[in-house]
Amino acid sequence: MSNKDDIQEQVADGAETEQFDAATSDEKGSFDQRVEELTQELDKALEEVESHKDTAIRAKAECENIRRRAEREVSNASKFALEKFAKEILAVVDSLEKALEHPVEGEAQTAMHEGLQLTYKLLIDTLNKFSIEQISPLGESFDPGLHEAMVMQESEEHEPNSVMHVIQQGYALNGRLIRPARVIVAKGKAPKIDEKA
């Protein structure tokens, strides 16, 4: 081969190399562009996944709250279903208590009084079976959440702000107040003012 042929061959090889390099450069640019597009799509997909994950967590929490609320409402409905009945039956209890306060005279009244006592005890025991408890605060400190002060009286025998007399018993159903105890509350004697001062 002559130099001329060698040169032509080298020129041809150089042209092919340039074409190859140009093609490789185009492919590399296209590849880089495609990688950039895929990276953007991946980022967008990850954002959507995070958004859906957040929505799913919130939905699950809301479902759990609804379930707990429903359980609490069902529990309260069963625990306090007797509330209206209990309020009505308390009038009977009050009547029996008033009847038992009357003085007993004679044998016939004694027998009747004993019958009333047994009926009253039976009724109170029945109320207790259904979680209706009597609130009898005699001698305790006055609690406006459980007691209704009808009168405040001065008393040397009782501590100030204590219940000195129960006018009407209070009642609670499963710990929930259905009627406050009506009471007379002791207040301390007013200090005497020394007129000489």
Q: What is the pLDDT of residues 23-54, one digit of tens each?
A: 556 666 788 888 888 889 888 988 888 888 88
Kindly state the average pLDDT of the residues 149-168. Answer: 88
Domain extent for 169: 83-187
Domain identity same for 156 and 99 = yes
CATH of the domain at 150: 2.30.22.10
Residue 167, token pair as written in the block: 């006018």
Confidence category of residue 118, pLDDT binned at 50, 70, 90: very high
Kindly state the average pLDDT of the residues 2-12. Answer: 61
Strands, E, within the chain: which ranges?
Answer: 132-135, 147-154, 163-168, 170-173, 176-179, 181-187
The residue with greater pLDDT, 81 or 162, is 162
Domain identity same for 25 and 91 = no
